[in-house]
Amino acid sequence: QKEVEQDPGPLSVPEGAIVSLNCTYSNSAFQYFMWYRQYSRKGPELLMYTYSSGNKEDGRFTAQVDKSSKYISLFIRDSQPSDSATYLCAMRGIELKAAGNKLTFGGGTRVLVKP
């Protein structure tokens, strides 16, 4: 079983709809949670960054973390065709000298927003 599970999709929605993405994880040591957007064969771009449990909003994006359930979500409001991409969740624990700062990624969910 992978440490971080993410539905690969594809998730197809009409323009203007809310996109709902989520990841589950098994490692209770994870404290920092991130969402990256990756266009085809491009570098992942950081979208949202959250520490521990709670919600964070940035424009059309809302990230939620529920550590008790080991579940994180990303919502995209008023979706646009330009939001069509693969969305990757990533997470890590508190940095320790030995463990470093590495991120553990989900496999990514491909999202298609249709005009």
Partner 1 sequence: DSGVTQTPKHLITATGQRVTLRCSPRSGDLSVYWYQQSLDQGLQFLIQYYNGEERAKGNILERFSAQQFPDLHSELNLSSLELGDSALYFCASSAQGRAGNTIYFGEGSWLTVV
The residues that touch partner 1, with contacts defined as CB under 8 A, are: 31-32, 34, 36, 41-46, 49, 51, 88, 94-95, 97-108
Q: What is the dihedral of CA 32, 85, 110, 49, to 10 degrees?
A: 10
Q: 18 vs 94, which CB is nearer to partner 1?
A: 94
The least distance separating partner 1 from the CB of residue 100, rounded to whole angstroms, comes to 3
The least distance separating partner 1 from the CB of residue 35, rounded to whole angstroms, comes to 11
The least distance separating partner 1 from the CB of residue 42, rounded to whole angstroms, comes to 6
Residue in the structure block whose two tokens are 């098994």: 26
Integer Cα distance of 51 and 95 in angstroms: 13
CA 68, 110, 3, 60 torsion-angle sign: negative
Q: 15 vs 27, which CB is nearer to partner 1?
A: 27
